[in-house]
């Protein structure tokens, strides 16, 4: 049928307020319907266009718990794949004031993520190392080793790393002297055992037993000298 009228037509106000509590707004659609056989322009509906929104308030916000998020922090790495994090807290909203409360108060709501991946740029080739091995000796100086490799972003072997910055793959460890074991049966039976040591008589079984402590001490000292 042909429309025979011109004017503003408005739908009913939407049932939902933009805020579940406190001040919000409701909206509706407003259209201009004109006679199809009229040559009047669209302004023919006039300037008195009905309002498309209005304030609404479903009551004050009492003890309303919501998740609130802080800003995202910096990426954990300057290059390559990393993560960034933010604070997420449960707040009790009462009118225009907020108070931090225990997370269980917001357990009925989906908690926003606290971490997400980030990637600022590719790293290029870098030196990577394994953990250090155990020390080869528990005292008197040993060494430990680790594997050092140059890897690209795809973790494949590369030759693009600067050799000047290559990490060490071996280092000394446990440099402290070994503590002498105390043997109650190994004692010097004579006061002049130092003479036995100087005369190099410790190679004989009798003197080795009679001057056990002195002979053992010189034997250990000579052993450390030979290892060096």
**Amino acid 3: pLDDT:** 45
Q: Do β-strands 81-85 and 115-119 pair in parallel, antiparallel, or remain unpaired?
A: antiparallel
Residue 168 has pLDDT above 90, yes or no: yes
Q: What is the C-alpha to C-alpha distance for residues 84 and 69, in angstroms, rounded to an integer? A: 13
- pLDDT beyond 60 at 52: yes
Least confident of 42-51, 82-91, 125-134: 42-51
pLDDT at 227 over 70: no
In this structure, which long-range contacts are made by residues 142-150, counting pairs with CB atoms below 8 Å and at least 24 apart in sequence?
142/172, 142/173, 142/174, 143/170, 143/171, 143/172, 143/173, 144/170, 144/171, 144/173, 145/169, 145/170, 146/170, 150/125, 150/126
How high does pLDDT run on average in the chain? 83
How sure is the predictor about 2, in pLDDT bands with cuts at 50, 70 and 90? Answer: very low
Query: Is pLDDT at 43 greater than 70 in this prediction?
Result: no
Q: Is the pLDDT of residue 144 over 90?
A: yes
Using CB atoms within 10 Å of the CB of residue 113, give its burial: 0 to 12 exposed, 13 to 18 middle, 19+ buried: exposed
The residues spanned by each domain of the chain are 7-57, 64-119, 126-173, 193-227
Contact 123, 79 (CB under 8 A): yes
pLDDT (mean) for 121-125: 86
pLDDT band of 228, cuts 50, 70, 90: low
Instruction: State residue 60's pLDDT score.
Output: 67
pLDDT score of 223: 67
Going by the DSSP 8-state scheme, the letter that residue 163 receives in this structure is G
Rg of the chain on CA atoms, in Å = 43
| CA atoms lying within 13 Å on the CB side of residue 117 | 4
pLDDT of 33 higher than 60: yes
What's the predicted TM-score (pTM) here? 0.38
Please report how many Cα atoms fall inside a 13 Å half-sphere around the Cα of residue 186, on the Cβ side. Answer: 11
Separation CA 171–CA 50 (nearest Å): 83
* pLDDT for residue 109: 84
């Amino acid at each position: 049928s042909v429309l025979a009228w011109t004017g503003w037509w408005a739908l009913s106000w939407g049932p939902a307020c933009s805020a579940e509590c406190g001040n919000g707004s409701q909206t509706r659609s407003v259209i201009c319907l004109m006679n199809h056989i009229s040559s009047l322009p669209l302004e023919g509906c006039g300037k008195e266009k009905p309002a498309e929104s209005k304030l609404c308030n479903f009551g004050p916000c009492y003890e309303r718990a919501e998740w609130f998020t802080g800003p995202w922090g910096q990426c954990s790495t300057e290059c390559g794949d990393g993560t960034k994090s933010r604070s997420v807290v449960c707040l009790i909203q009462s009118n225009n004031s907020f108070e931090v409360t225990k997370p269980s108060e917001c357990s009925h709501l989906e908690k926003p993520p606290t971490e997400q991946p980030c990637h600022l740029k590719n790293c290029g080739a870098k030196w990577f190392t394994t953990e250090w091995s155990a020390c080869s000796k528990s005292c008197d100086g040993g060494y430990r080793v680790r594997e050092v490799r140059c890897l690209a972003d795809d973790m494949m072997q590369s030759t693009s790393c600067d050799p000047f910055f290559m990490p060490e793959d071996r280092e000394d460890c446990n440099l402290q002297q070994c503590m002498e074991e105390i043997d109650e049966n190994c004692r010097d039976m004579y006061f002049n055992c130092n003479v036995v040591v100087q005369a190099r008589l410790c190679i004989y079984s009798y003197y080795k037993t009679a001057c056990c402590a002195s002979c053992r001490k010189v034997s250990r000292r000579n052993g450390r000298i030979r290892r060096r």
